[in-house]
Structure 1
Amino acid sequence: MTTTTDIVPDSERRGLIGALPPRLRPFASLMRLDRPIGSWLLYWPGAWSVALAGVYGRWDLFLWLGLGAFAMRSAGCVYNDIVDRELDRGVERTRLRPLASGRVSVTAAWVLTIALCLIGLIVLLQLNRPAQLLALGSLALVAAYPFMKRLTWWPQAWLGLVFSWGALVGWPAITGRLETPALWLYAGSVAWVIGYDTLYAIQDTEDDALVGVKSSARRLGDQAPLGITIFYALAVLLWSAAIWSVRPDWVALLALLPATLHLANQALRADPKDGEGALRLFRSNRTCGLLVFLGMLAVGLSTR
């Protein structure tokens, strides 16, 4: 017989989740409260866009976008687990997730998803109309994402379209219209996401093969480090184009040097046989996002 203790992962016994009342822990686990990296990665493209646009007194947007990233990433995780609950039961890393293990009902998970989306709605109301309309445009992409791993070897590309959407929202939130720099930022972020999510997928290549889940890490195989290098290089080139479209000055491009070196270090250390190492490199993209943000902020404020 399986006991409750057998189906509760260690992550629910320690840290932030472990400090919560036992009844709340499975819901916190659904939201990935113990893994804030996803919220950071969703947050950065929007913050870059606001920063490069020059901020113009809307410093509060950085906080609102942070709250929105947390709420929508959490909602996305719950929705993803609803869709993937059968697949998750067949993967060692995910079999103890609350829905896969039966500790949370599908109905309760939907209620949590709706509650988190209502928080996202509060954030949406803080934006101007163009930014609101663009933000709503991401919903179809978000809804389709969990199914991509069943349809294509490149679900990481679809994730890039979703996780980079903030770059299209942040710029019009400042300027009132969507312009070329935001498009360059968005394209660069998509390439960045494909690179770092390929790193993330390395840890699951064996389990994914067993359950028939597709990923860029499986498709690239031993060439995954080369693929990551190419996508990271493309990201830097596209971010450079965004900066150049705002300030056509070679000196301004130096703002990306720290992030470029950080990404180069990741690419050089990527090993398709080392899942734990790949996970550490993936998590370091929170720092990369900060470095890009500081560069975009410096350039954006210098053009005012």
Structure 2
Amino acid sequence: MGTVVTTPAPITPDAVKSWIDRLPGRAQAYARLARFDRPAGSWLLFWPCIAGLALAGGVQQQPLLIAWFGLGSLAMRGAGCVWNDIVDRDLDAQVARTRDRPVASGRISVKAALAFAVLLSLIGMLVLLQLRPLAQVVALVSLIPVAAYPFMKRITWWPQAWLGLTFNWGALVGWAAIAPLDAPEMWLLWAGGIAWTLGYDTIYALQDIEDDALAGIKSSARALGPKARAGVAGFYALALALWSAALWQVAGQPLAVFALLPLAAQLGWQVTKLTDTTPTNALILFRSNRLAGALWVAACASVGLA
């Protein structure tokens, strides 16, 4: 009797080697469906939660929430990716970078993917129960724009703006976990996050610009065309301006904005390196926003703790 060989799930070009590479083929496919092999997105969902918490002074008051937000970011980012892949399975099959995704390639059925999304959402519900009622309501409202996001690339040239709205919703949740929602600095923090996401996701979209054009997928990278670098610079400048206003509001003094200098330097470095818009360089710059998010949180924590 011959030996049965299990073929591992194909690896997308933007995946990273991790513990999931040692999983059996079927389990590996589910891990890839939730993007556990691409942790940058989970970090980018996590940092806004901690920025909101930190600026409201919650890092010192409720440090355990940091761990809960970490678990929630991993689970809900995974659930969002599964939903995105279900909706986009036909479009994904037309793009080189995404055609091997588990649902688009048929390795995981739509029904099984939906069941997996429910399982991940139940983990998110566990995290939700750790929050006070106001923050729970704010978090639940986010499900509406999250559910709508996969359709945005069919409707608008700026789906990255909608992604920014959803990915930075955690700033509202983190703030609401500690403080009331009537503070202008909370909204400034969120608006700055949207501008930041417009920048880094435009960089990310540069990887697929040619395939997106063939498939009719809209993106900010396609809308900006040769002005993509200038657009990213503008988005980052707007993010820094809004975050500066938020920190100033909390601290009550202009010197608070100097806490953002390391972040400004990192974002500036990205813009200088964006003269090269090849997929490889775009991915490197996109991933560097994990550090940018940490620097953002550090600035918020320095003001919030003070």
1:60 aligns with 2:64: yes
Paired letter, 1:154: W
Q: Deviation per CA, 1:110-146, whole angstroms, max 9, x where unpaired?
A: 0000000001101111111111111111111000000
1:299 aligns with 2:300: no
Distance 1:44 1:137 in 2: 19
Distance 1:67 1:140 in 2: 21
**Residue of structure 1 in register with 2:203 after alignment:** 199
Q: Deviation per CA, 1:72-125, whole angstroms, max 9, x where unpaired?
A: 000000110000111111111111111111111111100000000001101111
Q: In percent, how many aligned pairs have the same letter?
A: 54
Paired letter, 2:160: Q
**Residue of structure 2 in register with 1:42 after alignment:** 45
Distance 1:57 1:13 in 2: 35
Paired letter, 1:19: R
Q: 4+ residue stretches of structure 1 with deviation over 3 A? A: 10-15
Distance 1:33 1:61 in 2: 22
1:218 aligns with 2:218: no
C-alpha contact (below 8 Å) 2:164/2:195 kept by paired residues: yes
Paired letter, 1:97: R
Distance 2:23 2:40 in 1: 20
Mapping for residues 88-107 of structure 1, pairs under 5 Å: 88-107=92-111
Of 111-120 and 266-275, deviating more is: 266-275
Distance 1:4 1:202 in 2: 34
Distance 2:255 2:38 in 1: 37
After superposition, the Cα gap between the structure-2 partners of 1:200 and 1:14, relative to the gap in structure 1 and judged at 3 Å, is closer
**Residue of structure 1 in register with 2:121 after alignment:** 117
**Residue of structure 2 in register with 1:180 after alignment:** 184
Distance apart, 1:253 and its partner CA = 1.1
Distance apart, 1:251 and its partner CA = 2.0
Distance apart, 1:180 and its partner CA = 1.3
Mapping for residues 119-198 of structure 1, pairs under 5 Å: 119-198=123-202
Paired letter, 1:129: P
C-alpha contact (below 8 Å) 2:200/2:289 kept by paired residues: yes
Q: Deviation per CA, 1:259-300, whole angstroms, max 9, x where unpaired?
A: 001001111211364121111000000000001111111111
Secondary structure of the residue aligned to 1:204 is: helix
Paired letter, 1:109: A
**Residue of structure 1 in register with 2:20 after alignment:** 17
For structure 2, list consecutive stretches of 5 or more residues without a partner in the other structure. Answer: none
1:33 aligns with 2:36: yes
1:264 aligns with 2:268: yes
**TM-score (norm: length of structure 1):** 0.95
After superposition, the Cα gap between the structure-2 partners of 1:16 and 1:208, relative to the gap in structure 1 and judged at 3 Å, is same
Distance 1:144 1:208 in 2: 20
What is the number of equivalent residue pairs in this alignment? 299
Distance 1:259 1:114 in 2: 36
**Residue of structure 2 in register with 1:82 after alignment:** 86
Of 193-202 and 91-100, deviating more is: 91-100
Give the RMSD, CA atoms, in angstroms: 1.7
Mapping for residues 217-256 of structure 1, pairs under 5 Å: 217-256=221-260
For structure 1, list consecutive stretches of 5 or more residues without a partner in the other structure. Answer: none
Q: Deviation per CA, 1:148-175, whole angstroms, max 9, x where unpaired?
A: 0011100000000000101111112012
